[in-house]
Amino acid sequence: MNHVTELNHPLIRQDMGIMRNKDSSPALFRQALKRITYQLFIEATRGLATKDLSVETPLAVTKEKRVVGDIWLIPVLRAGLGMVEACWDIYPEARVGVIGLYRDEETLNPQSYYQNLPTFKALDTCFIVDPMLATGGSANAAIEFVKQKGAQTISLLALISAPEGIKAVHAAHPDVHLFSAAIDDHLNQVGYILPGLGDAGDRIFGS
């Protein structure tokens, strides 16, 4: 699957152990999410477009690079909020647009309740962040919204993805690359990822 990058790193596996553990507190859960998001965002930004930059050191003139276009973080509320600070730590200039979605418990269809998105410019890069990719309904809705606002370069960052969601996103948006810290087994009858970690929003916010 060349549209998916599954990160495999001993520190991610250790933090995933913390996040999956039903007894981990919201504080421990958020800290592990933050550490994993550092690695996801570093990997997802590897292919950013750059231009040459001339720099004068105290000793000589040399060439470095500068990122071209704005970087946009698009958290899907609520749980995506838990990934924003880590991305800002790495790229403080990143701008943020938000999409509010929740899953209808019966149909599992995403329900939209809030959006604050700009009109994107051609050189902008969007990173949609949401810890859980389950059926893919929320991710597909979020991608659709940012595309309607002109986004041309979009990546999706998830902590855990289900095969069902990966398939659904690739079918609807083959141009979107997914970076995921784990790919789990399957969904249960009520649309939760197995083995998963439960409800990401509840675990981040302690609700």
Residue 192 touches ligand URA, criterion: CB under 6 A = yes
Burial status of residue 178 (CB atoms within 10 A of its CB: 0-12, 13-18, 19 or more): buried
Instruction: Among 134, 139, 176, 182, indicate the residue that binds ligand URA (CB under 6 A).
Output: 134
**From the list ligand URA, ligand PRP, none, partner contacted by residue 196 (C-beta under 5 to 8 A by kind):** ligand URA
What's at 207, amino acid-wise?
S
**From the list ligand PRP, ligand URA, none, partner contacted by residue 192 (C-beta under 5 to 8 A by kind):** ligand URA
Q: How far apart are CA 196 and CA 16, in angstroms?
A: 10
Residue 199 touches ligand URA, criterion: CB under 6 A = yes
Residue nearest to ligand PRP (CB): 201
Fill in the DSSP letter of residue 81.
G
Nearer to ligand URA, 75 or 196 (CB): 196
Pick from 7, 11, 28, 16: which is nearest to 196 by CA? 16
What's at 23, amino acid-wise?
D
N-terminal to C-terminal alpha carbon distance within the chain? 36
**From the list ligand PRP, ligand URA, none, partner contacted by residue 136 (C-beta under 5 to 8 A by kind):** ligand PRP
Q: Are 139 and 170 within 8 A, CB to CB?
A: no
**Which of these segments, 44-52, 120-128, 169-177, 193-201, binds ligand URA (CB under 6 A)?**
193-201
Residue 102 touches ligand URA, criterion: CB under 6 A = no
